[in-house]
């Protein structure tokens, strides 16, 4: 866990405008800032950043929050990832608790490798742009591919000199570890112990993970050589697993979220050309079959995927099984077959973004229909081949969990293949049972592996706080209303408390509410509310403490999300007179607690009335409950009289 002191330091150093500006173009609008929402398509700015509150909010899709929430939403980060991202941005050391020495060393080593990769990325770019060889060979090649200079810089393309030792020599001069150079695959140790550059004589394509870290490189050879591949890629390392990454995801993720659609292509240049054309919601599998981890990465940002193919039938067939996995993950998949002689790269160089997208929308087809047409066409009139195709299609349909979608595909498959729907249903159900059995066996093997790898006795994970339920009762409404004020104004001073030594101490809104509730002998009925109140009381004496900031940066998801829900409408365009509210918080506290007490009594009266009329009590019990009911009704009358 990240130390709370670190979280507080990060939060205090964070400038919400500074953070959001990394992702959104903002302009001043009074005391606030406005921009186009990064989470959905819009033409009129509805995304507002409020520096005084340290929050942002979209009035269209209602996403936003503080800097941490914003990063978690836009980058699909976890809470710790967002904290670390901000800590790096503001040069704050992250102190962690409960982490063993080995894990700490592994994390430090990963950071060293990532630092080395970033240094190498900068060096490759500088070599491309500023050396005669880089300009004459590398830059000339990229320009011959019609890549503009701004796109070359955007994707941080570079060049590695043909000498074979330029990167390694420069790295040692900059005190980079030789072992790390070998481990990342930037260099190869020869038989005589020297370091040779892996990518010498190649144009360099850095691979970024979805958080923007350079984790690997791809190098394209510029001279045709026998038995030498056109592309050379980094090997697996502690910071790079090819099955986990998608080329271009860092540059595409915002566009994918806005347009709720992702285009999948094969290679580096496909992605780059489509960006240059104006289509940014595109990623590449880099020539490999899709993996479950890559699919999960796409699903972080959208469930709608269109796969772009050129006319190579052999390549298409080889990738069909990988696309079957997309169905298992619940993605809505379409396929586009580009005109003969074109691939995503060449097609992008011939068309504008509007023309390209129009072509996709007009020609993309559902994956199941595409697969059925493709395989049946190849099978021709061979009955055995056609039967194998139908079984193949049934296997794809069997991977779809949604019952309605699966049923529609079965009907369509029956219509296309002219096979009775009952027969296809039978085949699909049989295959689903087989897939379920395989999944159960896989899970059992995984559990067995984990049991041998981990100690038998483990401390139980802390139970996550349940999210506040919306109970349709007066008490629930009164509690929620009080919590809203506590979250927004909990740290505000409402008066002074006279001590025994003739000194005085400030009384916060939260502590005053707590005292009033104690006097009325009432407490919050929901554990989340009780926890939030305790957080406010135990931290209110800290310097610069504010209730909203503390709760919005809290490690617990339930606390953070609930706090955000209670302050988000505070960014509304209707002007709120904060001064008028804070000037009378003492009176507000009395009213809110009085409302809570009355709501508690009202709910108790309702409960007792139902119980008395239920027919389940004895005469003696009815008498006791009637007396209790009368007591509550009298208390209700007195409280209402005092409120007047």
What confidence tens digit (pLDDT) does each residue in 247-290 have?
999 999 989 988 889 999 989 999 999 999 999 999 998 766 78
Nearest to 1 by CA among 78, 108, 75, 112: 78
Contact at 8 Å (CB) between 512 and 524?
no
CA distances from 147 to 157, 252, 347 (A): 11, 18, 14
- Bridge pairing between strands 282-284 and 262-265: parallel
Q: What angle do CA 626, 632, 638 make, to 5 degrees?
A: 140
- Average the pLDDT over each of 255-259, 317-321, 363-367, 501-505 and give the range with the smallest value: 317-321
Say which residues have a Cβ less than 8 Å from residue 627's Cβ, sequence separation at least 6.
none
pLDDT at site 463? 42
**Nearest of 207, 236, 209 to residue 81 by alpha carbon:** 209
pLDDT at 494 over 50: yes
Contacts of 7 (CB under 8 A, 6+ apart): 83, 553, 555
- 16 within 8 A of 67, measured Cβ to Cβ: yes
Q: Cα 517 vs. chain centroid, distance in angstroms? A: 40
Q: Token pair for residue 132?
A: 């005669």
> Are the C-beta atoms of residues 514 and 529 closer than 8 Å to each other?
no
Instruction: Calculate helix-pair angle for 367-379, 403-417, nearest 10 degrees.
Output: 30
- d(CA 535, CA 488) in angstroms, rounded, equals 14
Check whether 399 has a pLDDT greater than 60.
yes
Question: Average pLDDT of 452-468?
Answer: 43
Backbone torsions φ then ψ of 622, nearest 5 degrees: -60, -40
Check if CATH label 3.40.1360.10 holds for domain 249-435: yes
* pLDDT score at 313: 57
The 10 Å Cβ neighbour count of residue 446 is: 10
Q: In the structure encoding, which two tokens stand for residue 17, read together?
A: 């405008």
Closest alpha carbon to 23 in 44, 46, 47, 43: 47
**Residue 204 φ/ψ, nearest 5 degrees:** -105, 130
Residues 6+ apart with CB under 8 A from 521: none
pLDDT reported for residue 342: 87
Half-sphere exposure of 258 (CA within 13 A, CB side): 17
> What pLDDT was estimated at residue 99?
63
- The single residue listed with the structure tokens 């979220």 is 257
The rounded mean pLDDT for the chain is 85
Quick one: pLDDT at residue 548?
86
CATH number of the 4-89 domain: 3.90.580.10
- In tens, the pLDDT along 382-393 reads 888 888 888 888
Of the ranges 47-56, 173-182, 511-520, 551-560, the best mean pLDDT one:
173-182
pLDDT digits (tens, 9 = 90+) for 592-639: 988 888 888 888 888 888 888 888 888 888 888 888 888 888 878 877
- The pLDDT confidence band at residue 73, using thresholds 50, 70 and 90, is confident
Q: Name the one residue in this structure whose structure tokens are 């420069």.
A: 170
What's the farthest any 2 CA atoms get from each other in the chain? 102
* 100 neighbors 280 (Cβ within 8 angstroms): no
Q: In angstroms, rounded to a whole number, what is the distance separating the alpha carbons of residues 537 and 569?
A: 24
DSSP H or E run through 57:
strand 55-58
CB neighbourhood size of 439 (10 A) = 11
The whole-angstrom separation of Cα 316 and Cα 338 is 12
Q: How far apart are CA 395 and CA 397, in angstroms?
A: 5
38 pLDDT above the threshold of 90: no
**SS3 of 635, please?**
helix
Counted residue by residue, the chain has a size of 644
How much is the average pLDDT of 231-244?
92
DSSP assignment of 173-232, as one string?
Answer: HTT--HHHHHHHTSEEE-TTS-EEETTTTEEEEEEE-TTS-EEEEEEEESS--TT--SEE
* Mean pLDDT computed over 38-59: 86
**What whole-number distance in Å separates Cα of residue 346 and Cα of residue 269?**
9
Q: What percent of the residues of the chain are helix, what percent strand, and what percent coil, each to the nearest 5?
A: 55, 15, 30
pLDDT tens by residue, 404-426: 888 988 998 888 888 899 999 99
Average pLDDT of span 240-252: 92
Per-residue pLDDT reduced to its tens digit, 199-224: 999 999 999 998 889 999 999 998 87
Model confidence at 462: pLDDT above 70: no
Angle, vertex CA 495, rays to CA 493 and CA 497, nearest 5: 115
**CA–CA distance, 198 with 188 (Å, rounded to integer):** 6
Report the pLDDT value the prediction gives residue 392, as an integer from 0 to 100. Answer: 87
Most confident range, picked from 245-254, 570-579, 582-591: 245-254
Per-residue pLDDT tens digits for 473-490 = 778 888 888 999 999 899
The whole-number pLDDT of residue 566 equals: 83
Contact predicate 643/594, CB 8 Å: yes
Of the candidates 278, 290, 267, the one whose C-alpha atom is nearest the C-alpha of residue 345 is 267
Of the options 3.40.50.620, 3.90.980.10, 1.10.1240.10, 3.30.465.10, the CATH number for the domain spanning 103-240: 3.90.980.10
């Amino acid at each position: 866990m990240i130390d709370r002191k670190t979280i507080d330091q990060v939060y205090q150093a964070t400038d919400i405008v500074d953070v959001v500006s990394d992702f959104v173009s903002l302009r001043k609008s009074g005391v606030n800032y406005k921009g186009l929402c990064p989470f959905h398509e819009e033409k009129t700015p509805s995304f507002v950043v409020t520096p005084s509150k340290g929050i942002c909010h979209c009035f269209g899709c209602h996403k936003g929050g503080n800097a941490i929430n914003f990063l978690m939403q836009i980058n699909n980060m976890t809470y710790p990832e967002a904290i670390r991202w901000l800590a790096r941005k503001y040069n704050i050391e992250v102190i962690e608790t409960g982490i063993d020495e080995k894990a700490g060393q592994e994390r430090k080593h990963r950071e060293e490798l990532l630092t080395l990769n970033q240094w190498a990325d900068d060096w490759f770019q500088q070599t491309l742009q500023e050396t005669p060889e880089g300009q004459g060979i590398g830059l000339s090649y990229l320009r011959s591919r019609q890549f503009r200079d701004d796109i070359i810089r955007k994707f941080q393309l570079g060049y590695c000199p043909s000498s074979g030792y330029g990167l390694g020599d420069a790295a040692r001069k900059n005190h980079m570890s030789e072992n790390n150079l070998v481990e990342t695959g930037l260099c190869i140790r020869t038989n005589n112990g020297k370091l040779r550059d892996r990518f010498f004589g190649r144009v360099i394509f850095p691979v970024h993970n979805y958080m923007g870290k350079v984790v690997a490189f791809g190098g394209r050879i510029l001279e045709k050589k026998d038995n030498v591949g056109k592309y050379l890629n980094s090997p697996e390392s502690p910071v790079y697993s090819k099955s986990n990454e998608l080329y271009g995801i860092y540059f595409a993720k915002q566009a994918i979220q806005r347009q709720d659609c992702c285009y999948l292509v094969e290679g580096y240049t496909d992605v780059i050309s489509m960006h240059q054309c104006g289509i940014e919601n595109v990623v590449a599998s880099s020539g490999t079959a899709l993996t479950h981890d890559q699919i999960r990465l796409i699903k972080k940002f959208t469930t709608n995927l269109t796969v772009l193919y050129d006319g190579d039938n052999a390549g298409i067939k080889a990738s069909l099984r990988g696309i079957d996995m997309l169905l298992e993950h619940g993605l809505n998949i379409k396929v586009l077959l580009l005109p003969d002689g074109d691939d995503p790269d060449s097609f992008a160089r011939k068309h504008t973004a509007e023309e390209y997208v129009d072509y996709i929308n007009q020609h993309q087809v559902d994956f199941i229909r595409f697969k059925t047409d493709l395989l049946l066409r190849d099978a021709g009139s061979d009955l055995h081949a056609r039967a194998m195709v139908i079984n193949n299609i049934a296997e794809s349909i069997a991977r779809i969990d949604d019952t309605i979608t699966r049923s529609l595909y079965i009907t369509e498959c029956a219509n296309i293949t002219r096979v009775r729907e009952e027969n296809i249903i039978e085949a699909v159900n049989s295959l689903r049972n087989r897939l379920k059995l395989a999944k159960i066996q896989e899970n059992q093997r995984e559990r067995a592996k984990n049991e041998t790898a981990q100690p038998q006795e483990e401390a139980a994970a802390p139970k996550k706080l349940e999210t506040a339920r919306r109970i349709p009762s007066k008490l629930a409404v009164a509690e929620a209303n009080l919590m809203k004020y506590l979250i927004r104004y909990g740290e505000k001073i409402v008066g002074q408390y006279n001590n025994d030594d003739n000194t005085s101490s400030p009384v916060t809104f939260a502590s005053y509410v707590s005292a009033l509730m104690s006097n009325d002998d009432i407490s919050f009925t929901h554990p989340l509310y009780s926890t939030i109140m305790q957080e406010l009381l135990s931290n209110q004496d800290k310097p610069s403490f504010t209730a909203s900031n503390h709760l919005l940066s809290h490690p617990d998801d339930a606390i953070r999300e609930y706090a955000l829900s209670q302050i988000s409408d505070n960014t509304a365009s209707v002007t709120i007179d904060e001064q008028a509210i804070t000037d009378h918080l003492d009176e507000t506290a009395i009213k809110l607690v009085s409302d809570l007490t009355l709501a508690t009594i009202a709910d108790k009266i309702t409960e007792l009335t139902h119980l008395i009329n239920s027919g389940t009590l004895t005469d003696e019990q009815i008498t006791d409950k009637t007396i209790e009911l009368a007591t509550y009704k009298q208390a209700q009358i007195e409280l209402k009289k005092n409120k007047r």
